[in-house]
Amino acid sequence: MQQRFGNRLFAIAVVVLMVGGLPSYAANRPSIDYNRDIRPILSENCFACHGPDANKRKAGLRLDVREGAIKPLKSGETAVVPGDAGHSAMLARILSDDADEHMPPEETGKKVTAAQAELLRRWVQEGAVWKGLWSLEAPKRPELPEVTNSTWQKNAIDRFVLERLEKEGLNPSPEADRPTLIRRLSLDLTGLPPTTAEVDAFTKDASPDAYEKVVDHFLASPHYGERMALEWLDAARFADTHGYHIDSGRDMTRWRDWVIHAFNKNTPFDVFTVEQLAGDLLPNPTLEQKIASGFHRNNMVNFEGGAVPEEYLTAYNVDRVNTTGAVWLGLTVGCTQCHDHKYDPISQKDFYQLYAFFNGVAEKGLDGSRGNAAPVMSVGTLAQNQEITKLTSAIDDIEKQLVAANTSWDAAQLTWEKEQTNRPDAGHVQWIAAEPREIKSSGGAKLDVLGDKSIAVTGPNPAQDTYTAMVLSPVVGISGMQLVVLPDEALKAKGPGRSENGNLVLTEVHIGYASINDPSKVKPIKIKSAQADFSQDNFPASNAIDGNPQTGWAIFPAVGQAHTIAFELEKQIESPGGALLNVTLEFKSQFSNHSAGRFRISATSDKFPLGQTRVPANVAGLLRLPNESRSDKNKAEIRTWFRTNLMPEYKSLRDQSDKLKKQLAVANANLPSTMVMQDLAKPRDTFILMRGQYDKPGEKVTPNTPACLPPMAAGAPKNRLGLARWLVDPGHPLTARVIVNRYWQMYFGTGLVKTAEDFGTQGEYPTHPELLDWLATEFIASHWDVKGMQKRIVMSATYRQASHATPELIVKDPEDRLLARAPRFRLQAEFLRDQALAVSGLLNREIGGKSVSPYQPPGLWEELMSRSDGANFTAQSYVQSHGPDLYRRGMYTFWKRTSPPASLTTFDAPDREVCTVRRGRTNTPLQALALMNDPTYVEAARKLAERAMTEGGATAEERIAYVYRIVLARSPRPQELAVLRNVFDQEWSGYRRNAEGALKLISVGESARNEKLDASEHAAWTMVCSAILNLDETVTKN
Amino acid sequence: MNVEQEIRLRLTRRQLLGRASVGIGTAALASLLNPGLATAKPQAAFLNFAPKAKRVIYMFMSGGPSHIDLFDHKPALRKFHGTELPESIRNGQRITGMTSGQKSFPCVAPMFKFAQHGKSGTWLSELLPHTAGIVDDIALVKSVNTEAINHDPAITFINTGSQQPGRPSIGSWLSYGLGSENQNLPAFIVMISQGSGNKTDQPLFSRLWGSGFIPTQHQGVRFRSGGDPVLYLSNPPGVLPDNRRQMLDAVGRLNQMAEQTVGDPEIDTRIAQYEMAFRMQTSVPEVSDLSGESKATLAMYGLDENGNGSQYARNCLLARRLSERGVRFIQLFHRGWDQHGSLPEQLPKQCQDVDQPSAALVKDLKARGLLDDTLIVWGGEFGRTVYSQGALTATNYGRDHHGRCFSTWMAGGGIKPGITYGETDDFCYNIVKDPVHIHDFNATVLHTLGIEHTKLTYRFQGRDFRLTDVHGDVVKGLLS
């Protein structure tokens, strides 16, 4: 038997070696590790029918736990007899040639290879030791392994990597050259290429800590936060639209700003987690903590007409559980929405217990047709918040002044109160009509003086008008002027106004006087107060003298009859020789044609031209009380009435305050909002949903964490806050591992666990388990110091290696999992764009803020939306940005889920409908087309060409070298220079013959071109720069 | 030859093809559009049958065409016209929020005449006179069904096998499994046209042709009218083919130098992709250019002699041209089929849009001998209710969404021609015979291409995902 196996085993081992992603390491190891060697075989081939899912379990056999496997079955067989492979039915079945007996059954399409069978046999023979799933046991800090090469390592990471390399008989690669290192670091830590100044400083720095200085420099860059945020935006499924169906817009940019800022200020990962999952539940949460809680509002939201709200409430929470599972736990909990997990010890009940944590969100099942979906919170930008603070404090100031004691107002009130008793009744004031001398209408109306000295207005009726009348004073020592507005049959509604309804609005009155001998010398007179026989609500007489053209005196509904408005002058006019009064009547209200249709001007010399002030009955009653009998409330009432009606200064302050209040209301209404977490007073009940269907509730459950993981701390609240704290408990086996693994993935392209989203049974066993645990324990011990972890990784010798690969290395380790060289992979979508903009000088380095809409081929959205009622919703047609907004980093591009940015998705950006923790990396002709022809890249090439021509030097060689230094951080090699010099000559000679084409090419994009440059030469350099931007080396992190 | 040498040789071959080809189905190996895959799938175990069809043209009618007014002839319905839908028929079926508040659910018999056509005697509405001419070539399936009752979940379900977003579309599954037969064109092409019936039409989503969690090169490529048929296909203004060639030669040479220094096979792949991009700049305009089509052909599709006409008609003709060139999956989305109201006014316009070109495509393929190995599918995401949405008047009615049964037709490679499959009750409401769930339908589509639907899988999050989830039975009765 052993003999028979021999040859097949060899043949199959070769195949495994060739097609498997992992090197042959595992197969060569003498001792067997259940988690590394056995579990993957059993999981792949057996657990679906003989695993944790009791409902699907066949023959009562369970192979994922020892008790199940060694227990005799009904059939009398025993699957696994530890130490006795010959009597283990599992092995017999796997090796059986009988189709009925053979396991796994043919129809599953699964196959246990001979090599795997041999591993299983050895494992059974050696005692069949089961172990719990490695990732569910808390990481223990490993000892640093012993290595032979004592000079290579820079930090602990290298010890683990080197140990593995030495076991495989491999040597690490030498350190990459400095230009390569700084470009790698800059792209990895900021997502942008280094500037030439940064490159020069680093290549010239001979100090021993030169490298560390550069690392610190990039970690301190504000672009570090952007780079880190981008990875998180994929995980958080951040987007600018709701995603389902009509896919209207939303605004979560304040949440995105929060993420960038959190990374930049190096918020510890545990705080980062708690604030995003439960910022709203923290004691006295800050505005920022509430914004952070929007993490789980980034899910898609639906408002399709006719959809069932409960169905979507369920979908939202399912998405939240799945996302939490992938982002923090690295577990595929989504499988348990419908049934117990087939591979991992997670039950359907566990799923709905997690679901219950989110089932209290105060949201609607269908929402989002008008922007953000509830619950939302208003948030302003810094400028907006400053504006609001300014308005609020200005209003406060005025309001305080309005109620505070004011010596001059109070004195005036005292005088008025005394006078009021002495004054005659207004009806006793002697008003004498004045004879008009010169009258004018600014709006061209015709003014005629009638026999009763009144003035009739006819002819053009402009929306607004101002009358100026010079009248001869009928008295000496004028103390007051009176305007009488008169009805007239010729006017609509009999007037006295010229509007449709007979009303008028006298917005402002000015009075001046001149000596009869010198009519041209008009002196203004201050008006002390005004009083009318009747005033429309909110249009008091005082409005006519408040200096505010927006307010006025009006008379509706008492139209069709005469009214008077009288003005008391500040002091009597002493003009012994006779005086001319110059009266200006302004009718400038927002209501058109509200000017007077017939009026007369009179004057008086009475000491109290207004007579007694007309006061409302309640005030008159209070005034009759002696001062000592008035309560404080009475006094305040009198004071307010007096100030409002008789103190123009008070009135103008009041108006100012009202104006500011309106501005504040507008500012508040324009404040952007952000979607946040907020719980209902009473959370919804949660049930296990049969087959995951929203309308098939089963057993009721309450919030709790999965049974296979350590329980929540005693006394922890069973809400999102408790859940968040549980995730970042130092004893949690998964979170730290899952997070450091994703950091590792950012730098090396592949995590130590390749399946970054799955640390379960079906996930990959780590290539370097001890390293993963060392990093995880280090992360926790450092109090979740995120920046520190990035630094630790990039400081390692492992990271600093050259990326050159020998054929031997490619044979031995095609995917570079052993890390005998630095990885080499294409830049992610956003960084390709950012790099092109940065090297061309077009990049707008502003951080955070609203999403923008760069160039996009026309019609991409409209083809999919184009509803005739699309105007009812936002984000239905693409409105391209202009100016600096065209040149913002890729991460700020408006993300429409149903039609994501074409130039980014071409380079594997996900659609952000659901959580993504691992982007694909493809290499397609559509990418070539985009890099060559997308106006973004063409414009970048022509601007880079301008830089080459104006800053790069005189010769073609100097200019090519200059562009190389900008783009690749290195000088070109002679052969490269020759190729590019040659293509420049070809292109230039072509464009000299094609001047029109040259001009077209250098006019691509909206940025201005340098018109001093020769067009054909500029076009040729544009092609050269485009070639350099399309190089494999340019689009790759080397 | 020792083992190490063998491995080296294999690796060299693999490098020549682009390192990429590790592990995809053998049929896809040759496709340069399909590099970069890194999943280990040693053999194309899913290719279990001799394929009848090599490619698919899927005419997707977005919005939900009324099976009652077009395909599912029920003379008995006439006598229930205007009467309440019996509860025994609705049987607790959940209905959308658009009609769940209605007090009355009056049945509506179609206002259009039906007649039998062809040797098969297939019943069709008078709105489809051209389709009537091809009934002997098609299999009309009256018993397709879905659980979804709203557009977003329903159209996502039928195109990706899941009501919730995140899964690969059927076209991307085929691109992944079978690759392209043409190295100069994408394997999966999507074309969109607006209907003239309902102008406040349902939106479409890129997820309907997206690749979900499988690599993005398998997503559908939109072929667009006006401007570049494929995004960024044309050189920038002022760049002539010569300029481009010179630039590409330089890029190629520099990349080769880099490959020699760095030794990364991915560079070879990139060189090949740039060459392919250059070839696409010729091959795509060539395929979009209808000037070589005969007047008779153009007329058959309803296009004038310059190839102008409705977008849908152009898309149908383009679909034929693409299928001739070996594009694996061509999907047309025609919108405007959502007749909640004004059905008698809107439905004839929709049929006018699609009837002639759809039938012309079948005839044209048949005449060219391509129908035998091209699978044609025509249908939407659900059907419509027998009861009226809104008031039923002498001249007007609307119909809400109905998922319990709807009609779709198929033709060509592997499909039994001239048959009607499945039966519904007198109300076109429930299936009484041979139900075809959309998982069964998709399993059948894959089957005609030689694919065992349970074995075309992609591992994501520890699970081997399929288009048909854990369901689906091939509908044998539809197979030739």
For A990, phi then psi, to 5°, come to -65, -45
- Say what the pLDDT of residue A221 is: 98
Interface of A with B in 57-116 (CB under 8 A): 109
E strand or H helix at B299, and its extent? helix B295-301
Whether the predicted pLDDT of B341 surpasses 80? yes
Write the CB contacts of A324 (distance below 8 Å, at least 6 apart in sequence): A277, A296, A333, A354, A723, A727
The percent of residues above 90 in pLDDT, for chain B, comes to: 75
Whether the predicted pLDDT of B142 surpasses 80? yes
Whether the predicted pLDDT of B24 surpasses 70? no
Contact assessment for residue A478 and residue A581, using Cβ atoms and an 8 Å cutoff? yes
Which bin fits A322, alpha (ψ -120 to 50), beta or left (φ > 0)?
alpha
- Interface contact A17-B7, CB threshold 8 A: yes
- Say what the pLDDT of residue B352 is: 96
Whether the predicted pLDDT of A611 surpasses 60? yes
pLDDT tier for residue B7 given thresholds of 50, 70 and 90: very low
DSSP-H helix ranges across A685-751: 720-727, 735-748
**Residue A653: burial class (beta carbons within 10 Å; 0-12, 13-18, 19+):** middle
- Say what the pLDDT of residue A1033 is: 97
Residues of B in contact with A982 (CB under 8 A): 250
Q: Tell which residue, A621, A646, A610, A619, has the closest CA to residue A425.
A: A610
- Interface contact A307-B152, CB threshold 8 A: yes
For chain B, the first-to-last Cα distance in angstroms comes to: 48
Q: Does A348 touch chain B (CB under 8 A)?
A: no
- Name the percent of chain A in helix, strand, coil, to the closest 5: 45, 10, 45
Residues of A in contact with B149 (CB under 8 A): 306, 308
Q: Does A1027 touch chain B (CB under 8 A)?
A: yes
- Say what the pLDDT of residue B48 is: 67
- Range of weakest confidence among A758-767, A880-889, B219-228: B219-228
- Say what the pLDDT of residue B51 is: 84
State the nearest Cα–Cα gap between B311 and chain A, in angstroms: 12
Which bin fits A306, alpha (ψ -120 to 50), beta or left (φ > 0)?
left
> Any idea what DSSP says for residue A36?
I
Interface of A with B in 823-852 (CB under 8 A): 824-826
Best probe of the A interface among B41, B102, B185, B243, by most A CBs < 10 A, is B243
Q: Tell which residue, A488, A478, A480, A503, has the closest CA to residue A448.
A: A488
- Enter the tokens of residue A943: 């601007």
Q: Using alpha carbons, list the distances in angstroms from residue B174 to B17, B22, B277, B372, B456.
A: 20, 18, 22, 19, 9
Sign of CA dihedral A890, A893, A899, A902: negative
Q: Tell which residue, A88, A91, A72, has the closest CA to residue A80.
A: A88
Q: Does A884 touch chain B (CB under 8 A)?
A: no
d(CA A582, CA A565): 17
Whether the predicted pLDDT of A29 surpasses 60? no
Write the CB contacts of B408 (distance below 8 Å, at least 6 apart in sequence): B140, B141, B144, B377, B378, B379, B380, B441
- Say what the pLDDT of residue A866 is: 67
Facing A811 at nearest CB: one of B8, B204, B255: B8
Q: DSSP string spanning B414-474?
A: TB-TTEEE-EE-TTS-SEEE--EEHHHHHHHHHHHTTB-TTT--EEETTEEE-TTTT----
Residues of A in contact with B235 (CB under 8 A): 932-933
- Interface contact A913-B236, CB threshold 8 A: no
Facing B36 at nearest CB: one of A805, A913, A923: A923
State the nearest Cα–Cα gap between B64 and chain A, in angstroms: 15
pLDDT tier for residue B1 given thresholds of 50, 70 and 90: very low
Facing A933 at nearest CB: one of B35, B94, B235: B235
Q: Using H for helix, E for strand and C for coil, what is the string for A470-534?
A: EEECCCCCEEEEEEEECCCCCCHHHCCECCCCCCCEECEEEEEEEECCCCCCCEEECEEEEEECC
- Say what the pLDDT of residue A17 is: 34
- Enter the tokens of residue A975: 């052969």
DSSP-H helix ranges across A46-82: 47-50, 66-70
- Say what the pLDDT of residue A547 is: 87
pLDDT tens for each residue of B375-384: 999 999 999 9
- Interface contact B207-A814, CB threshold 8 A: no
Q: Using alpha carbons, list the distances in angstroms from residue A198 to A183, A209, A527, B6.
A: 10, 15, 71, 47
- Interface contact B11-A814, CB threshold 8 A: yes
Whether the predicted pLDDT of A571 surpasses 50? yes
d(CA A877, CA A890): 20
Whether the predicted pLDDT of B41 surpasses 60? no
Q: Does A689 touch chain B (CB under 8 A)?
A: no
For A156, phi then psi, to 5°, come to -60, -35
State the nearest Cα–Cα gap between B16 and chain A, in angstroms: 14
Whether the predicted pLDDT of A76 surpasses 70? yes
Whether the predicted pLDDT of A897 surpasses 80? yes
User: Which has the higher per-residue pLDDT, A33 or B440?
Assistant: B440
State the nearest Cα–Cα gap between A245 and chain B, in angstroms: 5
Whether the predicted pLDDT of A945 surpasses 70? yes
Residues of A in contact with B203 (CB under 8 A): 245-247, 864-865, 867, 898
Mean pLDDT score across all residues of chain A: 91
- Interface contact A925-B32, CB threshold 8 A: yes
d(CA A471, CA A433): 10
Q: Which residue of B has its CA nearest to A972?
A: B254
- Say what the pLDDT of residue B10 is: 40
ipTM associated with this complex: 0.85
- Say what the pLDDT of residue A527 is: 92
- Interface contact A1032-B18, CB threshold 8 A: no
Q: Based on C-alpha coordinates, what's the Rg of chain A?
A: 42
Q: Using alpha carbons, list the distances in angstroms from residue A863 to A241, A859, B315.
A: 17, 6, 14
pLDDT tens for each residue of A451-487: 899 999 999 999 999 999 999 988 888 999 999 999 9
- Interface contact B246-A986, CB threshold 8 A: yes
Interface of A with B in 233-262 (CB under 8 A): 243-247
- Interface contact B206-A335, CB threshold 8 A: no
Rounded mean pLDDT of A988-992? 97
- Name the percent of chain B in helix, strand, coil, to the closest 5: 35, 20, 45
Q: Using alpha carbons, list the distances in angstroms from residue A588 to A543, A550, A552, A583, B205.
A: 12, 7, 9, 16, 54
Best probe of the B interface among A184, A246, A898, A977, by most B CBs < 10 A, is A898
pLDDT tier for residue A218 given thresholds of 50, 70 and 90: very high
State the nearest Cα–Cα gap between B87 and chain A, in angstroms: 20
Q: Tell which residue, A512, A506, A540, has the closest CA to residue A646.
A: A540
Whether the predicted pLDDT of A625 surpasses 50? yes
Q: Which of A2-6, A155-159, A614-618 has the highest mean pLDDT?
A: A155-159
Contact assessment for residue A157 and residue A144, using Cβ atoms and an 8 Å cutoff? no
Q: Does A20 touch chain B (CB under 8 A)?
A: yes
- Say what the pLDDT of residue A865 is: 87
Rounded mean pLDDT of B237-254? 96
Whether the predicted pLDDT of B434 surpasses 60? yes
Whether the predicted pLDDT of A16 surpasses 70? no
- Say what the pLDDT of residue A30 is: 59
The percent of residues above 90 in pLDDT, for chain A, comes to: 69
Residues of A in contact with B216 (CB under 8 A): 905-906, 908, 920, 922, 924
For chain A, the first-to-last Cα distance in angstroms comes to: 51
- Interface contact A1002-B238, CB threshold 8 A: yes
**Prediction pTM value:** 0.78
- Interface contact A804-B96, CB threshold 8 A: no
- Say what the pLDDT of residue A12 is: 33
Rounded mean pLDDT of A988-1015? 97
The total number of residues written for chain B in this structure: 480
- Enter the tokens of residue A582: 């110059």
